[in-house]
Chains A and B, each alone.
Chain A
Amino acid sequence: MKYLLLKHYRGPKTSTNNVPMDQWTPDEVDAHIRFMDDFADRLRANGEFVDGQAVAPEGMWVRYDGEGKPPVVDGPFAETKDLIAGWMVIDVESEARAVELAGELSAAPAAGGRPLGEWLEVRPFMEHDHSQNEW
């Protein structure tokens, strides 16, 4: 079962250790990054890792604007409340395992070396092929 673990720069819910990263010590930043790398390596060794990417905070909004016209480009919107930072895709045995891993990832060290306690969004993938199912 594949799950998406979604990290946010800003989300609807606040981290328990809510100190902005630019106010951490350089060592705390390093420790945080090392934790993230180690976490991904551990999943690779487990055979549970599928993908992990980070995206820049600044982006734009694009939409179709009629036949023959270039798309409309808007933004960036600095005030957007829900801003995705990155994701990890895992392939695990159960939903419980996905929750367990998200809990561990959320405990990445932050300011003061204490766990960040950020809220991660956990979403199951829809399966592509379920050809044996009949209705």
Chain B
Amino acid sequence: MNADPLDTAALRSAVPRVIAILVRRGADFAAAEDAVQDALVEALRTWGDEPPRDPQAWLVTVSWRRFLDATRSETSRRRREERVEEEPEGGPVPDTDDSLQLYFLCANPALTPASAVALTLRAVGGLTTRQIAAAHLVPEATMAQRISRAKRTVADVRLDEPGDVATVLRTLYLVFNEGYSGDVDLAAEAIRLTRRLAASVSHPEVAGLLALMMLTHARRAARHDAAGRLVSLEQQDRSLWDTHAIAEGVDILQSALARDQLGEFQAQAAIAALHADARSAAETDWVQVVEWYDELVALTDNPVVRLGRALAVGHADGPRAGLAALDEVDRSLPRRTAAAAYLHERAGDLALAARLYAEAALLAPSIPERDHLTRQAARLNQSPER
């Protein structure tokens, strides 16, 4: 952190606190958020090697001034006569942190998932519109519109209204799964935001999601080879896994599970932990993995979970059993054909497996997966045993 004269992480973590301070001084959320975004952009542009001694106080002062300017021009535009009451600048900043409320507001159920993600990244994550747009590969103007529409949607929601942790977790998990594109690592950003949430809310599923993210993220370096090709879990070089992140993830998960309020994220984290625990793919405790999938099916019966369970059954009880379990999975699921190819290969039917891999490549939703599946088909088609 010291290498970076402008500590952007500290600056960004001040953003939700500053928004909350402006709201407490009487600004509405939309105007406060705009003012803080302006101040943030100015900070990134002008601080350079000499950031102010107290970045948060600077942000409060500058964004409050921006808010007043915006309110004044709005007022004169409407030719109103009322005067905005000015709060003295540089007054004491209370150190209560109600930025937690922003998590709820930005993940309000009235928002579409994409809007909740964008608003969370800006108001809670302290990212600029430009960074959020680049991470989603859309024009900055489009993202700016998406965010202002989102703010209009929640305009009548009070910041102190109780929110739903489940929608916050869904939003953060979406951010995590957006991975990495542009200059912002959204997976790391999701972990940072979930960690902060976990520090202020004691909820086993918050801990479960944090553990899941950490255990998944710990394998990231092994997930692609030097040429950018996808590497399957079985083939990954496990020495590349981040053992510190795994140890922390397992600790967080264990204390969450000890509270005996199982949820979807804890169960998924438990599966990730079983993979992280195995020194080699062959040492994976597949019987336990299947048991956790059974818990997941009981908690949330969705086809993606059933697909994962069928693959685990294929390891625990053999590929024929896995194929039988796969029979119960919704046929329209895009990754189902890839799973069938994998299980048929393990069952020794290489010709069928090759055909299914080729078919699965056409259905793949992402480029790395398509290329991975095409290589699997090519490998089997070249195999002398076929």
Contact = CB atoms under 8 A, between A and B. Distances in A.
Do A and B come together as binding partners? yes
Interface of A: 2, 44-51, 91, 93, 124, 126-135
A45, A47, A124, A130 interface centre (most CB from chain B within 10 Å): A47
A128 B366 contact: yes
Which 10 A-B residue pairings sit nearest by Cβ, starting from the closest?
A47-B146, A131-B179, A127-B366, A47-B145, A130-B366, A135-B232, A129-B179, A134-B233, A93-B112, A126-B367
B141 A127 contact: no
Given A126-B366, A129-B181, A47 B149 contact: yes
Secondary structure of the A contact surface, majority rule:
loop
Contacts of B233: 134-135
Contacts of A128: 137, 181, 366-367
Interface of B: 112-115, 136-139, 141-147, 149, 176-181, 187, 216, 219-220, 223-224, 230, 232-233, 338, 342, 364-370, 372
Contacts of A134: 219, 223, 232-233
Contacts of B178: 129
Contacts of B136: 91
A129 B135 CA distance: 11
Contacts of B113: 93
Contacts of A131: 179-180, 187, 220, 223-224
A125 to B, nearest CB: 9
Contacts of A51: 139
Nearest to A91: B138
Nearest to A133: B369
Contacts of B137: 2, 50, 128
Given A131-B224, A134-B223, A135-B230, A48 B142 contact: yes
B149 A127 contact: no
A63 to B, nearest CB: 23
B213 to A, nearest CB: 9
A51 B141 CA distance: 11
Nearest to B232: A135
